[in-house]
A and B are shown apart, each in its own frame.
Chain A
Amino acid sequence: MGKRRASGGLESEVLATLWAAGKPLTAGEVVNVLGGDLAYTTVQTILTRLHGKGAVDREQAGRAHAYTPVLDEAGLAAHRMRAMLDRGGNHAAVLSRFLGTLTAEEGSTLARLLASQHHTPPEEA
């Protein structure tokens, strides 16, 4: 333990620690789990940043904050849909059948999203 730690990796380690805990953790508790030569203020800074990005929720626990990771439902659903699409088959056919399952409201949302995407085209033509 206490060997070289990748600079960008600490944020992931803190987040992974919160996921592993299964209960809200304070910055001090995260430091205890990660051990080694970590400074409390470093972990506190990372937790604040994660909270700012919406990756973690926080609640008051005595005088400190306790943090829990947030499951990004929309991101996960998008990930599953992407994975299903990549599972094979004819993408155009799958997408067109999928469109058939959408309500009018969902359809217009999709049309609006696609229209706004065309103003800032992604790398995919």
Chain B
Amino acid sequence: MLSVYLPLLFSALFGVAAPTLGRRLPPAAATWLLSVGGLLAAAGSAASFALLGFTLVGQAPLLAARGHWSDTALRHADPVWPPIAAAAIAALLVLAARFALAAGRRLSALRAAYQLAAVLPAAGGELAVIDHPGLHAYAVPGRPGRIVVTATLLRTLNAAERRAVLAHERAHLTHRHHLHHTIVHLAAAANPLLRLLPAAVALSTERWADEDAALACRRDTVAAALTTTGAGTRTFATPAVVLAAAATDVAVRIHALRSPAPRLTPWRVTLLLGLLVATVLAVAEAAHDTEQLFEFAQYAYRIGHR
């Protein structure tokens, strides 16, 4: 039953390795790997806890009678030390509560963003200019999503930089970056070993939008626009899911823009995908082992009731 601990190990490795390796990958690939990978890793660790816990729950005589397996045989054959199984059940309950809480908060933040997108001045199409002294630009997901820029920022930038800022914000909306943020946020709630993922995805989506903007104008123009917007601090409230252009890791992003666009490095992708495949295989193996354990207990039950 060693396989039942492996998803925990692999998801922990993924949680540490993915943010570091993701920085060196093209941002779109990094974002997908981090978010979908985070989801798999979180599901894998939850499955691990559930299988561990079930070996103990299965020993309850009432449940054993219903499932036609012998609780005594299970108790004797079970390789999981009961305190560990009990701890797994407790962990599963706590993490499920954390997940539900995070999901609720996230949902209301998304709803707030959609409402904000709907009440923003609409005559200008996707762009809503607000009269504010700060140097701000952000994307508000919604139906349709909106780009909010302060008039002060537009007056500060030149034409090429304005195009860069608009292209950056539009990239957040067209690639639905808020959904990637939501996924890793929930994954981290369900598995604290993945707690580095939300910041990593915040950075990778910003870099993704930067690279998209660099298709519309020169890389150093995007960097210059970023320097200007990065200087402004946010002074007014926006919903948590709003994607602010320059909220994260400005120095890292400017460095990335001063270098050529990153290329896909096969070993980094292979390593991360390998960890995810290993997580899934370990869950399958642990489920198989648990099934065999219960088959043995059912066999013992039939012998005992002959």
Chain A: residues with CB nearer than 8 A to chain B? Answer: 1, 3-6, 8-9, 11-13, 15-17, 19-20, 22, 33-35, 50, 53-55, 69-72, 75-76, 78-79, 82-84, 86-87, 122-124
CB neighbours of B218 from chain A (8 A): 1, 3
Q: Does B24 lie at the interface of the complex (its beta carbon under 8 Å from any beta carbon of A)?
A: no
Q: Most chain-B CB neighbours within 10 Å: which of A3, A17, A124?
A: A3
CB neighbours of A75 from chain B (8 A): 119-123, 128
Q: Taking A1-B217, A19-B155, A53-B123 as given, write out 18 further A-B residue pairs in contact, using a Cβ cutoff of 8 Å, ordered by the A residue number.
A: A1-B218, A3-B216, A4-B215, A6-B167, A8-B126, A9-B163, A9-B216, A15-B127, A16-B127, A16-B129, A70-B123, A72-B122, A75-B128, A76-B131, A79-B128, A79-B130, A83-B116, A123-B114
Q: Does B112 lie at the interface of the complex (its beta carbon under 8 Å from any beta carbon of A)?
A: yes
CB neighbours of B267 from chain A (8 A): none
Chain B: residues with CB nearer than 8 A to chain A? Answer: 111-112, 114-116, 118-131, 147, 149, 151, 154-155, 157, 159-160, 162-163, 166-167, 170, 215-218, 236-239
Q: Most chain-A CB neighbours within 10 Å: which of B123, B128, B166?
A: B123
Q: Indicate if the CB atoms of A83 and B237 lie closer than 8 Å.
A: yes
Q: Most chain-A CB neighbours within 10 Å: which of B125, B157, B215?
A: B125
Shortest CB–CB separation between residue B155 and chain A, in angstroms?
5
CB neighbours of A86 from chain B (8 A): 112, 116, 237-239
Query: How distant is the Cα of A9 from the Cα of B163 in the complex, in angstroms?
Result: 8
Query: How distant is the Cα of A16 from the Cα of B124 in the complex, in angstroms?
Result: 10
Q: Indicate if the CB atoms of B125 and A11 lie closer than 8 Å.
A: yes
Number of A-B contacts (CB under 8 A): 114
Q: Indicate if the CB atoms of B166 and A79 lie closer than 8 Å.
A: no
CB neighbours of B167 from chain A (8 A): 6, 9
Query: How distant is the Cα of A8 from the Cα of B125 in the complex, in angstroms?
Result: 9
- Which 10 residue pairs across A and B have the least CB separation, nearest first? A75-B121, A72-B121, A55-B123, A12-B127, A87-B237, A78-B119, A55-B124, A19-B154, A20-B154, A53-B123
Chain A residue nearest in CB terms to B143: A123
Shortest CB–CB separation between residue B275 and chain A, in angstroms?
36
CB neighbours of A13 from chain B (8 A): 159, 162-163, 166
Q: A1-B160, A9-B167 are in contact. Are A16 and B154 (CB under 8 A)?
A: yes
Q: Indicate if the CB atoms of A17 and B116 lie closer than 8 Å.
A: no
Query: How distant is the Cα of A55 from the Cα of B120 in the complex, in angstroms?
Result: 13
Q: A6-B167, A86-B112, A86-B237 are in contact. Are A69 and B121 (CB under 8 A)?
A: no
